[in-house]
Amino acid sequence: MQLSIYCNTPYAKEISYLFAKNPNNVHERHEKGHAVRFIYHKLTDHEVEATIFVTPDPLALTQQERAYDITHYINDRGFATSSIFLSLIRKMLGTALNGKPQEQYATFAEQAFPFTFEFGPVATSLSDEEITQLFAPLGFQVDIEAISEAQRARFIKISAFTTLKQALQQIFVLIPVMDDYKHYFIDETERERIERYGEGWLEQHPKKDFIYKKALRFRHLIGSEPGITTKISLNTQRYEAIVAQVKKLPHQSVVDLGAGEGKLTALLSELSTIQELIALEPSEAAIRKATKRFEALDTPIIPQIQWGSLFYYDQTLANKDILILCEVIEHINEERLPKIIAMLLQQYAPKALIITTPNADYNKVYALEEMRHDDHRFEWTRQQFENWCAEMVQNTPYMTSFYGIGEHHQTHGTPTQMCIFKRTEGS
């Protein structure tokens, strides 16, 4: 299974830097027992041609703890250009896929060139016409070659004047649509990846509904189809609310303070606009779990994880765009908080600090007589939280704004409350 990329342009050598691969070397890595290789066939002043291909280990497809294919040996599946193939090459093509080469070549990542992509064999039940309808609306000239009269396996060639980043992202969305059997179950991360790769083109695609239906064919496992609201956990709502606020703020550098096992940080890593993402955590056990989580990511930025505590100053955290304390402060003795917040706002001086904490008013909705967690040192009502935040920003260049997270109760508000401390301009 392979993907070849060709371009005839006076900027051929500059395009090679978009892959972040030295043309003098054969690049090889192993993903879950399978060999992934990237090679240049040609690199001149006017032509660049490269291929990424996978030599699969059929036994590895079934011997992993989470086997790729729950039906195991399905004929030629392990050797087809499928969703398995994409999962194996994603890291090798990470720089090109996310459009983040070295700074001096960044403009070429946003520039269109006459690219040709060839990939296969693709095992699909779609007709040639249906395959063409996936790529042609995006401006591609499509050529399809069947290996046999049965046309089960085909090689596909597409050509267009496009950016490398967008073309690769479109291929990564559409190959799973053609795939007769997707190798992994769908979760919210997969939906978010489709939305990220589909940004700017998928919503306008005439086959959008068909693409979503095929790409999210196991959508019953997450309880909804695109556009249909479903009840999700408060934890997920909390993370999504934070990410939504991050998007509205300057956010090239973001620090998740008390990151735990890294779930929020992993979600933040889906934002292609973040240039630096740090997960700070004092627990060694949590760091190990977060490290494992981050190693499995194939997002625009892989988070940096480091040991650290809110009780000690760390100069590497100063002057970041956003600091986040998600459900952290209630685990700290109340009398210690003012000193911590003073360090964050005055010494670290971020452009914004986001804090979330339980709303004690809402405990009545849960019929709770005690705090929500044994390790909570306190839980504040909405008024107590607002008063505390107002006290924390006295004599600082910060202003506060408040938001609720979760299902709203007319009397008791929402289960989680959020405050954003935003530094005023010019301060």
Note the pLDDT tens digit of each residue in 269-312. Answer: 999 899 999 999 999 989 999 999 998 888 889 999 999 999 99
Q: Would you say residue 29 has pLDDT above 60? A: yes
| Residue 315 reports pLDDT greater than 70 | yes
What's at 161, amino acid-wise?
A: F
pLDDT for residue 38 is more than 50: yes
Radius of gyration for the chain, computed over Cα atoms and rounded to the nearest angstrom: 24
The region, left, alpha or beta by phi > 0 then psi within -120 to 50, assigned to residue 201 is: alpha
Please determine, for residue 161, whether its predicted confidence score (pLDDT) is greater than 50.
yes
pLDDT digit string (tens) for 66-83? 333 333 333 344 455 667
Q: pLDDT digits over 190-241, tens only?
A: 666 777 888 889 989 999 988 887 776 544 333 344 443 445 778 888 999 9
* Residue 140: both structure tokens together: 């591609």
The mean pLDDT of 74-95, rounded to a whole number, is 68
Residues 221-230: contacts with CB within 8 Å, 24+ apart?
A: 221/185, 221/186, 221/187, 222/186, 222/187, 222/188, 222/191, 226/191
Position 427 confidence tier, pLDDT thresholds 50, 70, 90: low
pLDDT > 70: what percent of the chain? 84
- pLDDT, residue 230, reads 45
Under 8 Å between Cβ of 97 and 168: yes
Provide the pLDDT for residue 397: 95
Q: Given a cut of 50, is residue 59 above it in pLDDT?
A: no
Residues 137-168 as b/e (b if ≥16 CB within 10 A, e otherwise) read ebebebebeeeeeeebbbbbbbbbebbbbbbb
SS (H, E, C) the chain: CEEEEEEECCCHHHHHHHCCCCCCCCEEEEECCEEEEEEEEEECCCEEEEEEEEECCCCHHHHCCCCCCCCCCCCCHHHCCCHHHHHHHCCCCHHHHHCCCCHHHHHHHCCCEEEEEEEEEEECCCCHHHHHHHHHHHCCEEEEEECCCCCCEEEEEEEEEECHHHHHHHHHHHHHHHCCCCCCCCCHHHHHHHHHHCCCCCCCCCCHHHHHHHHCCCHHHCCCCCCCCCCCCHHHHHHHHHHHHHHHCCCCEEEEECCCCCHHHHHHCCCCCCCEEEEEECCHHHHHHHHHHHHCCCCCCCCEEEECCCCCCCHHHCCCCEEEEECCHHHCCHHHHHHHHHHHHHHHCCCEEEEEEEEHHHHHCCCCCCCCCCCCCCCECHHHHHHHHHHHCCCCCEEEEEEEECCCECCCECCEEEEEEEECCCC
pLDDT of res. 402: 97
- Residue 33 to residue 333: CA distance in whole angstroms: 48
Confidence of residue 263 (pLDDT cuts 50, 70, 90): very high
CA 58/CA 73 separation, integer angstroms = 8
Region 174-188: mean pLDDT is: 62
Q: Is the pLDDT of residue 256 over 50?
A: yes
State the pLDDT at residue 60. Answer: 46
Per-residue exposure over 13-40, b if at least 16 CB sit within 10 Å of its own CB, e if not: ebbbbbbbbeeeeebeeebbebebbbeb
Q: State yes or no: pLDDT of 253 exceeds 80.
A: yes
User: Considering the chain, what is the average pLDDT of its residues?
Assistant: 85
pLDDT-derived band at 90 (thresholds 50, 70, 90) equals: confident
pLDDT at residue 127 tops 60: yes
Structure tokens at 178: 């053609």
Predicted TM-score (pTM) of this structure: 0.55
Q: Please name the amino acid found at residue 149.
A: E
Which pLDDT score, from 0 to 100, does residue 124 have?
83
The average pLDDT across 26-55 equals: 87
**Residue for token pair 């892989």:** 302
The two three-digit tokens of residue 245, written as one number: 């606020």
Give the residue with greater pLDDT, 65 vs 400.
Answer: 400
Q: Express as a percent the part of the chain with pLDDT over 90.
A: 59
- Cβ neighbourhood burial of 367 (10 Å; 0-12, 13-18, 19+): exposed
